[in-house]
Structure 1
Amino acid sequence: MKKLSFFLFLILTFHMNNAYAITTDLEKIYLENGEYTEATKAIQEGNTSFNKDIPLPTRLPPILFTHVFASFNQKSSQLTIYYLDENNGKKHYTLAIIPNDNDMSYPNDAKKVNLENGQEMVYFKRNDFITYRTVVNEFEYTFIVDKTSNKTIDVNGIMKIINSMIQKLSPGSKFN
């Protein structure tokens, strides 16, 4: 029995050390090169650059994420937030936010749906990703979901995420 317990202890220890190494490697890749930072820092950079708070969704997709990284590109005025699962390299969810310039172009096969407040959301598929775009409060939001995650979060799910922003911005609206 002692041999079995010791063997199980070794397996668990190796597994935990291996999980720590994966986490550390992922953080090194995203944080050490300086392009990405903690989400709160990048959001604050964006708020400062735009001289206003960037409305963010209060809801996330029902997908497991182990890490959140972000970047604010001063040159292109783009805030990008990356949600990743270190245990599944196929699950990605990205939110990119830029000031709305009313010059959004879409592929010919893009589909349009109306949100509950009548606002339009456009979505289209390219390669292994689904892209959803809409404008909320002077900002253009682009939600990018990979094919694997799209099985869990679909058009209606993205609409709920966008509506969570609209609800936050419109106290007393029909969304409350």
Structure 2
Amino acid sequence: MKKHIVCSLFLTTLLIVGVMNNMTEANSSDVPPPFEEAFPEVGYKSVEEALKEFEQHFGKELKLPLRVPPISFTHKFGRFSNSDGEMNDSFEMKLISDQMPRNHFKIDVRPLEYKIPFDKYVTKVYMLDNGQEASFVEYSRVGFNMLVFERDGWQYVFSIDQEVADQVTAEVLVRIANSIDYPQEKEL
């Protein structure tokens, strides 16, 4: 009987050590690739390159804000989605941090004729400096707060992770939207 118990304990110990060894090996090989490798694999590139593709596709200029949220980011990427037809074609700019995953800001832009309706989710409406309205959306199901507005034939959607909503408020998003009107280049 004692021999049977000792044998069972020995086999159980071997099993536990084997499982722990496999878990250690799995964890060391399961390290995700850095953002600069992972994002290009799903179509992201430099903001400038994606912006150029978007503008060439639609044949008109897209203005981006000069301001960004007052939180730290480690990477910025752009993506032009060119689907069949123009209905789902859009530009996306993503600012993210590999140090703080909640630091995630995104700008989506699409032609007004294919805008996404957000009317039923609007929490508050703000007036931009150019006289246009901007709708603020707090929608906990998606985990992002959004500022949605229209200008120059485009629908802009600014999205910020709700975990940083205390730092990046609706008013901060409005200031970012208003920075689109700052001169993009200095005149000599």
Task: Determine if the TM-score, normalized by the shorter chain, exceeds 0.5.
Answer: yes
Match of 1:156, as an amino acid? E
What number of residue pairs does the alignment pair up?
A: 148
What is the DSSP-based 3-state SS (H/G/I as helix, E as strand, rest coil) of the residue aligned with 1:30? Answer: helix
Deviates further, 66-75 or 99-108: 99-108
> Equivalents in 2 of 1:56, 1:145: separation in Å?
16
Report what 1:119 is aligned to. Answer: 132
CA RMSD of aligned residues (A): 2.2
Report what 1:28 is aligned to. Answer: 37
Report what 2:57 is aligned to. Answer: 49
Report what 1:99 is aligned to. Answer: 111
Match of 1:78, as an amino acid? S
- Structure 1 stretches of at least 4 aligned residues deviating more than 4 Å after TM superposition: none
Alignment of 1:63-82 (within 5 A): 63-75=71-83, 76-82=88-94
Is the radius of gyration larger for structure 1 or structure 2?
Answer: 2
Q: Is the 8 A contact 1:37 1:70 kept in 2?
A: yes
Alignment of 1:14-25 (within 5 A): 25=34
Is residue 2:166 matched to residue 1:151?
yes
> Equivalents in 2 of 1:138, 1:107: separation in Å?
18
Identity of aligned residues (%): 22
How many angstroms does 1:113 deviate by?
1.5
TM-score, normalised via structure 2 length: 0.71
Structure 2: unaligned runs, 5 residues or longer: 1-30
Structure 1: unaligned runs, 5 residues or longer: 1-21, 170-176
> Equivalents in 2 of 1:168, 1:98: separation in Å?
22
